[in-house]
Amino acid sequence: MTVVDYRGLTKAAPLKKALLASKRTAGRNNRGRITVRHRGGGVKRMYRLIDFKQLDKTGVPAKVETLEYDPNRSAFIMKVIYRDGERRYLLAPGNIQVGSEILTAPEAPLKEGNRMVLRNIPVGYSVYNIELQPGKGGQIVKSAGTEAQVLAHESGYTHLKLPSSEVRKVLWDSYASLGKISNPEHNLVVIGKAGRKRLMGIRPTVRGTAMNPVDHPYGGGEGRQPRGTKRPKNKWGKVTGGKRTRNKKKWSNKLVVKRKVKKRRKK
């Protein structure tokens, strides 16, 4: 079992006005029916309101007060105090320190944590918390250790290489934050035991091969049997693992310059 090193975080109580009580729905939809299996239980969490836009604070410098853990996301968050006295939570970049100053402006200095429009960010810089529509707030590249790279500016669009290796065009009037998201070791964590998974709100999953034929395409047989189907399938017989699920008529297909590189299996 391994854990993330939290020694760099500040020991401080959460910002009370930015906390919301969040009711767990345990994988159920608005009709109370389970739509996502294996969810339930887990430690209670308070939701932290994160400012993904920062547009109403354009031109107002802010100072980083604390670096904190957020139970609702993989990245760390930072509490900042603006020059006008207001405090807010923002996503924390990797190398930010308590006491650092950040700024949101169309042409902010090229410094980690600053937020600016894409057309003013030079080619080669890393960005995160990127808007897809100007004014809507950050929508992509928000999880731990991720970054997108600015490749080019052309005809009102900025070409970004996303963490998936996909190259996509984004309107260059959209805002993005400079740097790379904090907590890059998140993907190296080994859960280690079943009880820790239960605390995360994830319940046990029964293997398909351990079921009866009526319950799963992999079920039945004497002892341990091979899969018995040409392609991997889920409980309902739908093909998984490699099947493309993106809608061929999706409007944003024209903005994708290059599809993500498919990982090859090790032989």
- Complete DSSP assignment for 161-209: E-TTS-EEEEETTSEEEES-BS-GGGGG----SHHHHHHTTB-----GG
- Residue 125 — very low, low, confident or very high, per pLDDT cuts 50/70/90? very high
Q: Looking at the structure, tell me whether residues 141 and 44 fall in a common domain.
A: yes
Same-domain pairing of 106 and 39: yes
Q: Any idea of the CA torsion for 81, 83, 86, 89, to the nearest 10 degrees?
A: -30
Query: Do 25 and 106 belong to one domain?
Result: yes
Residues 87 and 181 in one domain: yes
What CATH number is attached to the domain comprising 216? Answer: 4.10.950.10
Residues 181 and 259 in one domain: no
Whether residue 47 lies inside any domain: the answer is yes
| Dist CA 249 CA 247 (whole Å) | 5
Asked whether residue 10 is domain-assigned, the answer is no
CB atoms within 10 A of CB 15: 17
Has residue 179 been placed in a domain? Answer: yes
Q: Predicted confidence band at 51 (pLDDT cuts at 50, 70, 90)?
A: very high
| Tens digit of each residue's pLDDT (9 = 90 or more) over 75-124 | 999 999 999 999 999 999 999 999 999 999 999 999 999 999 999 999 99
The number of distinct structural domains making up the chain is 2
Looking at residue 243, its pLDDT comes to 85
- Give whole-number Cα distances, 230 to 101, 123, 206, 218, 227, in Å: 57, 45, 21, 11, 8
Q: Which helix (H) or strand (E) holds 153?
A: strand 148-154
- We report the CATH number of the domain holding residue 136 as 2.40.50.140
Average pLDDT rounded to a whole number, residues 28-33: 95
- Among 154, 185, 216, residue at a domain's last position: 185
Q: What mean pLDDT value characterizes the chain?
A: 93
* Predicted model pTM: 0.89
Q: Is the pLDDT of residue 153 over 60?
A: yes
Confirm whether 25 is domain-assigned: yes
Q: Are residues 170 and 217 in the same domain?
A: no
Confidence (pLDDT) at 99: 92
Q: Which has more pLDDT, 244 or 147?
A: 147
If asked whether residues 175 and 218 sit together in one domain, one would say no
Q: Are 128 and 177 in contact (CB under 8 A)?
A: yes
Do 245 and 167 lie in one domain? The reply is: no
139 and 235 within one domain: no
70 domain residue, yes or no: yes
Q: In the prediction, which pLDDT does 20 show?
A: 94
Sign of CA dihedral 107, 110, 114, 115: positive
Q: Is residue 92 within 8 Å of residue 50, measured between CB atoms?
A: no
39 and 80: one domain? yes
Q: pLDDT at position 189, please?
A: 95
DSSP state, 152?
E
Indicate whether 131 and 234 sit together in one domain: no
Pairing of strands 126-128, 175-178: antiparallel
d(CA 111, CA 107) in angstroms, rounded, equals 11
Domain that holds residue 235: 207-267
Q: Is the dihedral of CA 99, 71, 183, 194 positive or negative?
A: positive
Which residue, of 185, 218, 235, is where some domain finishes?
Answer: 185
Domain identity same for 51 and 98: yes
